Amino acid sequence: MLGVERIIGRKIMVLDEVSSTNDYAKSIADEVPEGTVVVAKRQSAGKGRKGRKWVSPEGGLWTSVILKPGFVDPRIVFIGALSVVDTLADFGIPSGIKWPNDVWVGERKIAGILVESKGEEHVVVGIGLNVNNPIPEELRDTAVSMFEMSGERIPLESVLKSLMFHLDAWYRIFKEDPFLLMAKVRERTFILGRFVEVVSEDGKIAGRAVDVLDDGSLLLDVGGSLKKVLYGDVSLRPLW
Ligand code: BT5
């Protein structure tokens, strides 16, 4: 472990390497205060949803925040996604949310969010954001980093500070008025109006993304009838 530091009044645990900051955060969640952050320089087994691999070499921001809202809510993922969008804006990079858990710049993914719960009350918000890390060959067409967008190396500390500032704000808003959070999600979700294909546990469904509803689900127009999707993997049909 490198050390424990503090950024805007919270405990930050900085690790050299860990399998997954989410797993580490879940293992300590009961013993540490809400808001504790785990950051790792590298993850040896960074993970995405459904056991997928998250590529996490040195130079990126791989972090997990422990929240204790007292309940589990599928909309918590949007606290992470909006915080990343706002952080990128602070560094002059426009981005949008690809429902439900990706942040994209143009047509490429710059960040992914993985929310996991620990029991009924504790939630870990894992955020992987490509900052200065190299993008591996196999992801060149689909992934992008802040370095690539800005042309300069960006200190990880300043990205983390900005991210935590926005996370605090969106978490507060979520607790006070989740509809306000969802209104912002709707505004930032760039897939609305586009034709998409969603793969979920119920199978594959294709249609035009119409809205993100207040419960966090995606509303699709499938040949004139509206279908609600609670969760899934979205792929975009080309614009032209
Ligand atoms: C995600 O999953 O996008 C959630 C990623 C969450 C990562 C953070 S890092 C800190 C914390 N600790 C963890 O162990 N995880 C969290 P999903 O929607 O399933 O997307 C996974 C897919 O994204 C992979 O199958 C790849 O196609 C792609 N991918 C992997 N690494 C990437 C990277 N560094 N940048 C962009 N795309 C990547």
**CB proximity list for 157: less than 8 A, separation 6 or greater:** 7
d(CA 119, CA 193): 37
The residue whose C-alpha atom lies closest to atom 23 belonging to ligand 1 is 54
**Which residues sit with their C-beta closer than 6 Å to ligand 1?**
20-22, 43, 46-49, 52, 54-56, 62-64, 101-102, 109, 112-114, 126-128, 130, 139, 143
Nearest to 114 by CA among 87, 139, 81, 85: 81
Contacts of 12 (CB under 8 A, 6+ apart): 4, 5, 6, 36, 37, 39, 160
Q: What is the pLDDT of residue 240?
A: 57
pLDDT for res 194: 95
Q: How many CA atoms lie within 13 A of 186 on its CB side?
A: 15
pLDDT for 201: 86
Do 107 and 42 belong together in one domain? Answer: yes
Distance CA(7)–CA(1), nearest Å, equals: 17
Instruction: Tell how far the Cα of 56 is from the centroid of ligand 1, in angstroms.
Output: 8
Atom of ligand 1 nearest to the CA of 43: 14
Domain of residue 222, CATH code: 2.30.30.100
Domain count, the chain: 2
Select from 173, 8, 145 the least CA-distant residue to 78. Answer: 173
Residue 173 and residue 201 share a domain: no
Whether residue 65 is found in the same domain as residue 17: yes
The pLDDT, as a whole number, for residue 2 is 42
Calpha distance 129→72 (Å, rounded): 24
C-alpha distances in Å from residue 160, one per residue of 40, 183, 200: 12, 25, 32
What residues in the chain have per-residue pLDDT under 50?
1-3
Q: Which of 212, 190, 166 is nearest to 95 (CA)?
A: 190
96-98: strand order across its sheet: 3-7, 10-18, 37-43, 61-67, 122-129, 108-118, 102-105, 96-98
143 Cα nearest atom in ligand 1:
36
Please tell me the distance between residue 224's alpha carbon and the centre of ligand 1 in angstroms: 34
> Distance (Å, rounded) from C-alpha 85 to C-alpha 188?
8
107 and 225 share one domain: no
Cα(53) to ligand 1 centroid in Å equals 6
> What does the DSSP 8-state code read for residue 118?
E
Specify the CATH number for the domain of residue 15.
Answer: 3.30.930.10
Residue 1 pLDDT: 36
Same domain, 228 and 162: no
What residue numbers bound the domain in which 34 lies? 4-188
Using CA positions, which residue lies closest to atom 36 of ligand 1?
143
Instruction: Specify whether 73 is located in the same domain as 118.
Output: yes
Does one domain contain both 180 and 211?
no
Q: From the alpha carbon of 40, which atom of ligand 1 is closest?
A: 10
User: For residue 124, what pLDDT is reported?
Assistant: 98
Q: Ligand 1: distance of its center to the CA of 80 in Å?
A: 13
Q: Are residues 87 and 115 in the same domain?
A: yes
Q: Are residues 93 and 181 in the same domain?
A: yes
**Could you tell me if 130 and 217 lie in one domain?**
no
For residues 130 and 91, state if they share a domain: yes
Tens of pLDDT, residue by residue over 15-50, are: 999 999 999 999 999 999 999 999 999 999 999 999
Give the residue, out of 47, 50, 54, with the most ligand 1 atoms within 8 A of its beta carbon, to mutate for a pocket test.
Answer: 54
Shared-domain flag, residues 80 and 163: yes
pTM for the structure as a whole: 0.96
What pLDDT was estimated at residue 239?
Answer: 58
- Residue after which a domain boundary falls, among 188, 203, 219: 188
pLDDT tens digits, residue range 93-117?
A: 999 999 999 999 999 999 999 999 9
Contacts of residues 106-110 at CB distance under 8 Å and 24 or more positions apart, as own/partner, are 106/144, 107/236, 108/141, 108/142, 108/143, 108/144, 109/142, 109/143, 109/144, 110/84, 110/143, 110/144, 110/145, 110/146, 110/149
Indicate which residue's Cα is closest to atom 29 of ligand 1.
54
Q: What is residue 146's three-state secondary structure? A: helix
